[in-house]
Structure 1
Amino acid sequence: MTSLDQLMVVWATWALISSLFHKDIFGVLVNRLGLVYNACGIFFLLRVFCQSQDDVVRLCRMTAFVLIPLSIEMLAEKMTGHNFFSALGGVPEIPDIRDGKIRAQGPFAHSILAGTVGAVCLPLMISLWDRYRKTAVAAIGACLAMIFASASSGPIMSASFAIVALFMWSLRDHMRLIRWTVLLGYIGLDIVMKAPAYYLIARIDLTGSSTSWHRAALIESALAHISEWWLVGTDFTRHWMAYGVAWSGDHIDITNHYLRMGVDGGLPLMFLFIAILAKGFSFVGQKLRQVDGLSAVSPFMIWTLGASLFSHTASFISVSYFDQSFVFLYLTLAAISSGSLQTTLLPVSKDLRPKRDYFSTNRPKMVS
């Protein structure tokens, strides 16, 4: 058990305990049991079966084999206006159309989540470049196709953050300075701007139809009503905004995963979730220092895991995961926490393909 594993257990425990302080205890408890089962189930399942860096590479390659056909369906959906996954249920046959643009969603609950999955997986696909060039090219194209087909600003921004993180590879020895610079820059903007600095989100519109203002106003409303949810969450947020959502009379659209954690379990659940992400970044930094100079482990692959996690953390400001997209978050965290990145480093083979049969290359010559 690593410290990241332990944080996952503590987070899950508080998610269950906090449900006891809501009005519909049974209903909320059932919901939290599902949340914990999904998160911890995926995380610890992959922790068990991901025991070396070879396993991490295989996991990324298997993800590529999933995304490639998925991207083809999403492109077909965007061109035809028909979601072929609707035959399996759970998603509409006709995708959403905004400002004349078809927003493909594939098997996901929303087009933004479909595009976000492509964006956050982009660094993982780039990590395959050295060993599986053809797979990497196809998988990178698949990720970009998913982002394009979703026709949403959020996935484009998530991909941008992922690319920025990858380019930071050359500055990896100066990350502490970069972090402090970004923090002080944000504080400076907050001082000079009339509105809070997070209202810069409201100015982001890469598709011409974004609802960025809602995301900034949501943060402001949550802070204004923090006394209602800070300890164990709340059952009612409808009064936070002037408009609600069709699927709930008690809540507004919580398009922020951090605030979603707060609404579910208060500041303790939110801070525990943030601590999990922070510990993931800490692990990446620790393992990079440990593998320095060791050719058996690819430092850049470790960095791509951190870049993918960074893309997730940026995406959480504008979207809340509420479908199978959470699998890719806990996949990344499990890969970071896996035994392949611990102090005891296992050797990595140059070629992960099965070895040729011994007798096919070393067969003795026939003697008459």
Structure 2
Amino acid sequence: MSALPALPRLPWHSTFRPRLTRRLAPVLILVYAALLPRELSLDLAGANLFPYRIALFALAPIAVARLLARPVQPSVIDLFAGFASIWFVLALFVTTTPVTALITGTSLALDFGFAYLIGRAFIRSANDLRTIFYYTLPGLAVVAVILAYESISHDIFLRPLIADILGKPEPVLVSRVRWGLVRAAGPFPHPILGGVFLATILPLAVYFTSNWRQLAPAAFVAVSSFFVVSATAVLAFALAAFMMGAYTVQRISRVPVFLLLGLYAILLYLMLSVVSESGPVSFFVRNFTLDPSTGYYRMLIWQYAGAEAVAHPWVGIGLRDWTRQDWMGDSVDSYWLYLALRYGFPASIASAAVMVGTVTLLVKTSGRRSARDQYLAVALAILLSCVIFSGFSVHLWEGLHTWIIMLCGASVSYAKEFRSADLTRNSDAAPPADKPTQGRSFAT
């Protein structure tokens, strides 16, 4: 019986052998800590020490020592990351008591700053990124299986089980059923966070894998985001797939697909502004959400919380309640709006500058890489673009937020540390056709 023919190697498949070094271990520890449920947290002097936060405190001194031993090339994005971290504390000093500002503000500042710092300190090459994803994949696969089981069986068991074992209060969980599936939570504080986390893994699942054996479980991880039955997760997955398809078309045809798509998007927005009676936002809410009532509720949040943010533009309203209709809850389902509401527009703008700046930096440096390494820059840029988009309809917090900010720091280091010599030293040997693209980035 003849053996089955080997599957063809995809353009981004490499022959590297992942090796977890002492330098990369801190990043892996932080990633796995971000996947642990909040029931494993500790309470210390009024501060919640979540697993990822404990990891941040423990690893930050190592990151500082690493940066002192091998400094990174500075970037203006570093300034925005530092500004955002400091502004959280300063804004709360104005709107709350000094004790609250020190406890809550410092916790938020360290969550942002330390996560960025760790990504900046330890990731330096394409193989670093591949290695971290390779060793993160088993944990993501376990999370995906848990989500699938909870959704199909209608038994959200993980967090209640851990709370029961540790003697902690029963967690408040969303158990709404859609399409015969329950909104699974897994280890995440809310199903939608798990959905965004795994949906945005899609470009990493495709472009970071080294062979077909890795691609299959990685793709399952991304597809499992559907088990949270969230419109935001579905749209994030669809947007990632669409951008990957557009990049493939652009790479083959050499047509500036992303530039054309941007122009079409502007024209579509202008057309809907004229044709639609309720405006573009209302049009998309009515037609691109699984539950129109949920979309309408989010519009109300933007209306009332947005008014509060505009009324307090510099430092926000702090931790006090915000004005809204009596029947509305206090949740603000938008990362960008939440930051502006609580800490002022400077915090929101600085955080956006970190993510948008990272995407821009990846785009600018992608044209100088080998074709194989260029796929890694594409994957990171698409992931962060999907997160920026998702941030308009979901608040990013806890483990998901740590993962994203750490990736921003890692991406900045990867982009800034790039040298022509690094292609030979840090990347896999490329076939003759796998040459640098001579300054042509994937955005043009």
SS of the residue aligned with 2:367? helix
Aligned residue runs from structure 1 range 172-321, under 5 A: 173-204=256-287, 207-208=290-291, 211-235=294-318, 236-245=320-329, 252-291=330-369, 294=370, 298-321=373-396
Residue of structure 1 aligned with 2:190, choices 110, 130, 143: 110
Alignment CA distance shift 1:92-1:70 (3 Å): farther
Aligned-partner SS, 2:398: coil
Deviation readout 1:28-47 (Å, 9 max, x if unpaired): 44212111211221221122
- Determine if the alignment matches structure 1 residue 126 to structure 2 residue 214: no
* Compared CA separation, residues 265 and 94, structure 1 to 2 (3 A): closer
Gaps of 5+ in 1: 246-251, 352-368
Q: Which runs of 5+ in 2 are unaligned?
A: 1-73, 430-444
When the two chains are superposed, the root-mean-square deviation of aligned CA atoms in Å is 2.5
Aligned position for 1:335: 410
Note if 1:46 corresponds to 2:119.
Answer: yes
Q: Is the 8 A contact 2:373 2:427 kept in 1?
A: no
1:249 alignment counterpart: none
Provide the secondary structure at the position in 1 that maps to 2:146.
helix
The answer to whether 1:55 aligns with 2:135 is no
Count of aligned pairs = 340
What letter corresponds to residue 341 of structure 2 in structure 1? V
Contact 1:4 1:276 in 2 (8 A): yes
Q: Which residue of 2 aligns with 1:17?
A: 90
**Offset of residue 94 of structure 1:** 8.6
Q: String of CA shifts for 1:222-268, please: whole Å, max 9, x gaps.
A: 443444221110144542344233xxxxxx21000000110121111
Corresponding residue of 1:160: 238
User: What is residue 33 of structure 1 aligned with on the other side?
Assistant: 106
Q: Give, in whole Å, the separation in 2 of the partners of 1:273 and 1:325.
A: 15
- How far 1:215 moved relative to its partner? 1.6
Equivalent residue number for residue 229 of structure 2: 151
Structure-1 separation of matches of 2:120 and 2:169: 30
CA shift at 1:113, angstroms? 0.8
- With over 3 angstroms needed to count, the CA separation of the structure-2 counterparts of 1:92 and 1:79, relative to structure 1, is farther
Following superposition, the deviation at residue 109 of structure 1 comes to 0.4
CA distance in 2 between partners of 1:13 and 1:318 (Å): 25
Distance 1:210 1:153 in 2: 12
Whether 1:6 and 2:79 are equivalent positions in the alignment is yes
Code of the aligned partner of 1:132: N
The DSSP-based 3-state class of the residue aligned with 1:79 is helix
Deviation, 1:287, is 1.0
* 1:357 equivalent in structure 2: none
Alpha-carbon shift at residue 208 of structure 1 (Å): 4.7
Separation (CA, whole Å) in 1 of partners of 2:112 and 2:323: 30
User: Which has the higher mean CA deviation after the structures are superposed, 112-121 or 168-177?
Assistant: 168-177
The equivalent residue for 1:135 is 214
CA distance in 1, matches of 2:172, 2:396: 22
Give the C-alpha shift of residue 310 in structure 1. 1.0
Give the secondary structure class of the aligned counterpart of 1:319: coil
The normalised TM-score by structure 1 is 0.84
- Aligned mates of 1:313, 1:3 — CA distance in 2: 19
Which deviates more, 67-76 or 167-176?
167-176
% of aligned pairs identical? 16
